[in-house]
Every structure is written in C-alpha cells, then in structure tokens.
Structure 1
C-alpha cells in the first residue's frame, strides 16, 4: 500500500491551510501498523464481548454452508495425527508369523523383530490389540480398519505434506485437506473457523499442512495450541472501540481490494479480521475446558503440563466439533522411533490411549459420533525388521489407519498386509485413495471438487484416487 506524501507545516502545496488533525504519512503508518498488531493480539486474547454490543453480521458468501455433491454420510472430521509413524507391529498389527520368525531374515533382507508386547483379542470382532492400548481396545467394534495403505516417500517431510495436501512435492504447495473441505462445504458456525488445527508440528511442512495455498486465504486452517485462549481481562479494550479501530483498517483494506489488479488475498484478510472479531464472544469460553464436569475431565485424563497436552487437545476437539467446526486436527509427535522403540512406545501410547478412547465415548454419548468421522493414523508405518538393537525403520509399502463414526462400517476390516506385515497385499489404498474416500464420506466427489489456478484445474487427489466404497455403512 502506498500513501500520498503530505507536506508538513500549516499549509499544503497550494498554500491552503491543513486540517488541524490531518496526520502526516509517518503518523498514519505508525497508527495503522499499531492497529494491525493490536488486532492480532486482540483476536487471541480478547474476552467475551458484552452482549449489547455486537459486531455486524457477516453476509452469506464464501464461508456460508453449501450443499455437498451428494448426500453426506459425515458432517465433520476429527483427525488424530500421530506424527512420526507408529510401529503398527507393536500396536495394531498382530502377526503370528512375525512372532515365530524372530531373528530370521525378512523380505527386505533385515532381521525380523517380533513385538515384545502381548496381544489379545477384544470385542465381538475379536480384533487383536497390544497391551499398549488397553483403553482403545474397548472400542475396537467401532473401528473401520484400513490395513492396506501405502504412500510414495519414506521421508517424513514429504510424507507428512502428502498426507495433508495430496502431493509430496514440497516446491508445489497445494491446499490442505481441511481447506478443500471448507472450500467445498463452507462452515456451520459463522462465529468460528471452519478448520482448526491444534498443536500442528512446526517442521515437516509446517504451515503447508494446514494452509490454503492457491485457494482463497479464508479457507486456511486456524492454528491454536492446547492452552486455548487466555484473555487478559484488565487489558481488554471495550468492544465498541475495537469495532471503530477495525472499521478504519477495513475501510483501507476494502479500498485497496477495489483497485484494478489488487491481490486476491486481500479479501481473505478482510474476512479473517471480521472472523477474529466475532470469535471474541465464543472462543475463550469454548476452549475453557476447566468448566467441563469433573467426571469428563477424569475420563480424558486431563492434567497440567506437557504430559496432559494430548488429553486437552482431545477434549477441545470434541467441544469445537460440537460447536460446528468442520475439520479439527490434533497432533501427538514423537513416534519416529529408530531407537529406544519400546520405551518410546510405552510413553507415547500412555499419552494418547486414554484421551482418544474418551473422545470416542464422549462423542457417542452425545450423539455426535453419528455424524462425526474420526481418523487415527500416521504418515506411514514401521518395518517388521529391526533397526539396531531397539528400533524399526520406515515402511511406506503397507500400514494401517482406523476410522470410526459417521459413514463407515463398524467392526470392519478393509485390506491386509503380508504374513509379516511389510507389504500391502489386499485392499491396497494409496494416499490419493484415502483422500478420495474421506471426501466421499463428506458428500464430495473428488473429481468434481476442483479449483482453477495457473491455467489448469487442481484437485486434492490430482489425477488419481479411487473411493473405497466397501467401507461405507
């Protein structure tokens, strides 16, 4: 943005008196920049607005709810992302042949390593689960297993980006899956973002994993942490004054947006500022999990400090989904266990097992699991062979994820790996197939959900993707 230079002194270039309160360019830039900084902070730290002073309603538009391509089986998604690659051989994939061939040569030439953990069968389905997941084991009859997944690259940065955006090519940034859902379906709550990511990993793609890329900026994910919003009530500026400050900035934004060849991102900025203003009345209270009943907090295992991070995320995800957020992603990092595998798995599984199980039970008790799809998994899996004395290397050729809730068959298994768990041999699903299936469960045809950019039409699944309709309830 450029400003016309305003002469100093008491008269302009034509000798006419200047207005008493007319600012010069330096004052105007200083005021505007301070306003931008203030808005960024107020969006995060503002308290609930007084009910008698409300912001103007957002007119229907790009974020308004839209009809899906066909009747949807799910209305919203909660993605529990285990970043780093879970060792499925020690958690979800019981392979008697692997246990029997411990120390022998495996398919890739390495020595097979049996799991040190005990497995048992649970539920009416008799699903095998290791002792690391005693709480989630009670919910196996809800799970719809995808056991034949595979992807393209064994490198974490590219695989994480591909899982979130459909492509492993970091140089060609694509919209994230949450952004595509928001673009296709809009949002159910105009006072909240339609796409929220809690504690996303700062590396392995960073903001790319929840960005909107070439889609308009208002479709990108909103990043928060598991501490929620902590308003400073004493520092709170009256809502009416905030509105006046915002109106001043928005008038400049709208003027710039109306000019020829103005960047399209300006519309996203305008929308994001208005959304941030409206969020003040709902977000602080919504993310204040201390108001949950004691029995709910105990069920999730809520506690202070880093050890309670994932539990807080799970409870926040339920509250956000219940309030109408279309796509919520939560993250637990640290599963990249090339060494210290068994101790690391014990720590990680202890952190996620109870909260994830409580999330499923809580959603079900509130009737939300009927239209909420829960996805649990990593960017790829681990090999059945050993890496060093206590580790497993990456496996992109066969690994599982599970789904639960809206639209999928409970207690169902689709796909399988070989007898030791290295290669997908049945029901093979590439990452593109996973995305096509998730979109279909939300009522979207992955081939029709397109956006024209740079002279071609893009989609989440690029030129691939097969929907696994076998898993549909």
Structure 2
C-alpha cells in the first residue's frame, strides 16, 4: 500500500462527528485552562519518556551493578534446613512453641487448626563454611563451597502470609496484582544494553514440582508501557511463542510486512499521537531482531564439557533449573539487564526432609556454579545474583512429627536470602533471628528495603523512579523502603 493511500485511510477516520467532538473538547480545555491560570491543583504529572537507555536522569547514583539475575525459589524454602542453624530447636524437639515467643502473632488457617505447635529441629547437619564461617546445611554443599562470595540476609520479613500475595508482593512491591514487576521497573528506568534481546527475560524450570502456580503477571509490565514486560524463554523448538515466521515465510517477507505496517503505524501516530503505537512498533522490531539472536543464544554447542560439568548433568537437558542457570549466564554475557529464574516446589507442608533433599539436589550445584562461572569470567563484580523465596517456614511442625517426617507452615516473620557480586559485601551474614528462629533479633530487612537496595545498586534512587497511572504516581517501593547500607561493599 502506498503512503498516499495510507494517509487517506487514516484521514477517513476523521469524520464530521469525531471532528466536532474533538473541537468541543479542545475549546472546553482552553476555557478551563484560562480559569485555572496560575493554579497547579489540576496540573497533571506527566511521565518521563523513556528512550533506549532508560528515562532521563537515570542513573543518578553511581551504579555498582549492571545486571541482575534473580534465582527465585517459589514456595518458601525452609531456612531451618538450609542456612539458619538453630540448635535450640533440636534440644526442644517436640515441645510446644512458647506463647512468649509467638506473642499472639497470626497463623495460617492450616496451623490455626492444630491443638499444639510442636517445635522441630532440622534433621540435617550444619557446618560453618569458608573463612567467613557462614552456617550452611549439608543439603547445600556446593553453595557452602562459595560461601565466602555470598552475602546472607537472615532477617528478611514480609506481611504476607499466603503464597499469591507474598509472591506478588516480592515481585511487584504490592500484594495485589496489576503493578509492574521489578524487571519491568529496571527496564523502564535504565533501558537496554542489547538491541537484539529483551532487557527483561524470564526462565521457568520444567523439572520442578508444580505445588504453587506461577502467573505471567509476575513478570508483567502492569501500568507501564507494554514494551517493558518480561519475555519468557521456553525450552523446545519455539523458545519464544509466536516468534517464528509462518510456514512459507522468509525473513525478507517478514521485513516487507513490517515496513508496510510501520508506515501505517507512523501515519496513525502523526494523526492521533497515541504513544501506544510507538510501543507496538518497538515490539515488532524487537521480535524481528530476536529471530536471529534467539537461536544463537540458545545454541549450547559452543559450551565445553567442563562448563556442563560445573553446572551438573541436568544442564544438558533444556528447561531444567541447571540449564536455565547456564542460559542465564549466556544472557548476562550479552548484557541482558534483568534475568529472572523461577523454580517451584519449595512449599513443604509435609514430607519435608525427603522433598527438600530433592529440591536442593536439583538447584544447589547450578546456583553455586553460576556464581563461580560469573566470577571466573570477570562478570560477578558488576552482576548481582539473588537467591530466595517469598517467605520462610515455621519452627514448629505442621501435621505428623517424627525425626524423618515433618512439615513446616508459612512464616513471614523472618526468612533467609543470599546475594552475590554486584556491589554487596562478600562473606557477610547480615541480620539475626532469635534462638527459636521465630522473630528477628537484629537488623530487620523488609521486602521494600530489599527492593530499594537492589535499585540503589543499579544506580537508581527508588523514590525518584516513578510512573503516573490512575491519578497518582507509583513506584516499586510504594511509600516505603530504605537502603540496607550494611550489606553494600
């Protein structure tokens, strides 16, 4: 279709009725503006237009990290069997949780039905690892081997006690669906460092128990423009859905189609000024470039055997947690800004010793390998690695209680995460819980504090990274959040 025909098509939408409507609204706006001259009560806050390298003025803090990889362990890993060693629980095994420790704090509906809350010690051995002396369970031997590169935060807490709101809160800064995810905020604020790959990429393990569901809204753009949403990579013939050309189409055919579509969109943009049109054009063009970049990034044939050995045998099986960790390293090498891995199966209400053993076997080696691999390639200093879930587990048993068979309920009051690289202090254990592991004893870190610190490490003031929607300005940390300076190198 010729440009003149396109312009005629656009112009045909400007009929007499739409002209009169727009003219009347315009005159009304002028009149209202004259009445309110000098007053700013109705002056709207306009959103900053983000270019390829983020919004104007970002970064405004010296950046300590350029990239983030977030190894999200969905379901709530038990800190008592992994990193928060509590010998008192072994001594008091089977005794009821003292009221003086619980202090009337709310329980889930599952625990509230129990007549007693029997304390349970871990059935696994702990040892201090590395020069830092961090306590690490025997379930995590590979993580223990890199303990001196890690910063453990044992005093994380949230207000959300159930999975969906807690998971949504951790990923978006609010327990209700509809807000942009962390990766979307980072993309909006800082833009992209690779024109041929999305700035925000999501990987979901295919070898994890599906105990709690994951939703695409967890990596969605919310009210931000659609080009900032996370792009999920899948294992199989089509890593990105709907990216490949239809049968019989070649790259030249796709280019010709996009050129015609872009001309039509450009004319519409000039006529209506709708910013959503530009976002669609940007997504079309990114998809076209990804047709060449995605097969290259997913082709592991150039990886030597020692790399697969480092990540474990599962790394040769596409879509597994280990393979996704290796793929994450390849994406980070290409300067993808934010890579998020999800691994389900940590919701261990029963049969915890057996289930947790399998979870750690599937994830421990690859998590540690990613840290080692980034370090040996000189990427760890400016890449932030994060490991953790949406909350922790209770110090008491849910249901059956024996030394080899017990479960733990949800516990938002305190849980453990770790970070590595990207400007955090290595070999540090930050924060403490009480001897029962039920309450925080020192240096509490709220979810919004964690989010504010992540943005700070990337060179962004979390209070300035805002976007106006629905009549107010929003940010990832809402109206809270402080920078946890004690973990910053």
TM-score tier by shorter-chain length is 0.7 to 0.9
How do 1:170-185 and structure 2 match up within 5 A? 170=177, 173-185=178-190
2:255 is paired with a residue whose SS is: helix
Contact 1:381–1:398 (CA<8 Å) still a contact in 2?
Answer: yes
Cα distance in 1, alignment partners of residues 119 and 320 from structure 2? 34
Alignment partner of 1:74 is 2:65: yes
Alignment partner of 1:244 is 2:256: yes
The alpha-carbon deviation at position 89 of structure 1 amounts to 0.4
Deviations 1:386-427 (A, max 9, x none): 001221000000111000001000011221111111112211
The alpha-carbon deviation at position 229 of structure 1 amounts to 4.8
Contact 1:93–1:128 (CA<8 Å) still a contact in 2?
Answer: yes
Q: CA RMSD in A?
A: 2.4
For residues 425 and 265 of structure 1, do their structure 2 counterparts lie closer, same or farther at Cα, with a shift above 3 Å needed? farther
Unaligned runs of 5+ in 1: 1-59
Task: Choose which of 389, 399, 418 in structure 1 pairs with 2:434.
Answer: 418
Q: Greater shift after overlay, 82-91 or 63-72?
A: 63-72
- Aligned residue in 1 for 2:341: 330
Contact 2:244–2:291 (CA<8 Å) still a contact in 1?
Answer: no
Cα distance in 1, alignment partners of residues 378 and 316 from structure 2? 31
- Aligned residue in 2 for 1:456: 472
Cα distance in 1, alignment partners of residues 439 and 301 from structure 2? 45
Cα distance in 1, alignment partners of residues 379 and 230 from structure 2? 22
Cα distance in 2, alignment partners of residues 472 and 412 from structure 1? 10
Cα distance in 1, alignment partners of residues 244 and 159 from structure 2? 47
For residues 162 and 250 of structure 1, do their structure 2 counterparts lie closer, same or farther at Cα, with a shift above 3 Å needed? same
The alpha-carbon deviation at position 270 of structure 1 amounts to 1.3
Q: With structure 2 as the length reference, what TM-score do the two structures score?
A: 0.80
Deviations 1:61-103 (A, max 9, x none): 6223564111101111000000000011011111111121111
2:320 is paired with a residue whose SS is: helix
For residues 61 and 261 of structure 1, do their structure 2 counterparts lie closer, same or farther at Cα, with a shift above 3 Å needed? closer
1:275 is paired with a residue whose SS is: helix
- Aligned residue in 1 for 2:229: 220
Cα distance in 2, alignment partners of residues 447 and 378 from structure 1? 25
For residues 61 and 98 of structure 1, do their structure 2 counterparts lie closer, same or farther at Cα, with a shift above 3 Å needed? closer
- Aligned residue in 2 for 1:346: 357
- Aligned residue in 1 for 2:311: 300
- Aligned residue in 1 for 2:155: 148
Cα distance in 2, alignment partners of residues 437 and 270 from structure 1? 34
For residues 179 and 228 of structure 1, do their structure 2 counterparts lie closer, same or farther at Cα, with a shift above 3 Å needed? farther
For residues 411 and 175 of structure 1, do their structure 2 counterparts lie closer, same or farther at Cα, with a shift above 3 Å needed? same
Contact 1:436–1:446 (CA<8 Å) still a contact in 2?
Answer: yes
1:303 is paired with a residue whose SS is: helix
Q: Greater shift after overlay, 359-368 or 220-229?
A: 220-229
Cα distance in 2, alignment partners of residues 304 and 375 from structure 1? 20
2:127 is paired with a residue whose SS is: strand
Cα distance in 2, alignment partners of residues 381 and 364 from structure 1? 29
Cα distance in 1, alignment partners of residues 461 and 394 from structure 2? 34
Alignment partner of 1:286 is 2:293: no
Contact 1:120–1:131 (CA<8 Å) still a contact in 2?
Answer: yes
1:370 is paired with a residue whose SS is: helix
Contact 1:83–1:332 (CA<8 Å) still a contact in 2?
Answer: yes
Cα distance in 1, alignment partners of residues 342 and 435 from structure 2? 31
Cα distance in 2, alignment partners of residues 209 and 131 from structure 1? 32
Task: Choose which of 392, 407, 410 in structure 2 pairs with 1:381.
Answer: 392
Alignment partner of 1:277 is 2:282: no
Cα distance in 1, alignment partners of residues 255 and 378 from structure 2? 38
The alpha-carbon deviation at position 233 of structure 1 amounts to 10
The alpha-carbon deviation at position 303 of structure 1 amounts to 3.3
Task: Choose which of 125, 139, 154 in structure 1 pairs with 2:132.
Answer: 125
Q: With structure 1 as the length reference, what TM-score do the two structures score?
A: 0.82
How do 1:1-400 and structure 2 match up within 5 A? 62-64=51-53, 67-106=58-97, 107-108=101-102, 110-170=117-177, 173-199=178-204, 204=213, 206-227=215-236, 229=238, 235=247, 237-260=249-272, 262=274, 264-303=275-314, 309-389=320-400, 390-400=406-416
Cα distance in 2, alignment partners of residues 65 and 163 from structure 1? 23
The alpha-carbon deviation at position 282 of structure 1 amounts to 1.5
- Aligned residue in 1 for 2:419: 403
Contact 1:84–1:334 (CA<8 Å) still a contact in 2?
Answer: yes
Contact 2:173–2:448 (CA<8 Å) still a contact in 1?
Answer: yes
- Aligned residue in 1 for 2:6: none
Q: Greater shift after overlay, 374-383 or 104-113?
A: 104-113
Contact 2:236–2:318 (CA<8 Å) still a contact in 1?
Answer: no
Deviations 1:208-252 (A, max 9, x none): 211111111111111112447569899573322210012223333
For residues 435 and 275 of structure 1, do their structure 2 counterparts lie closer, same or farther at Cα, with a shift above 3 Å needed? same
The alpha-carbon deviation at position 470 of structure 1 amounts to 1.0
Contact 1:160–1:204 (CA<8 Å) still a contact in 2?
Answer: no
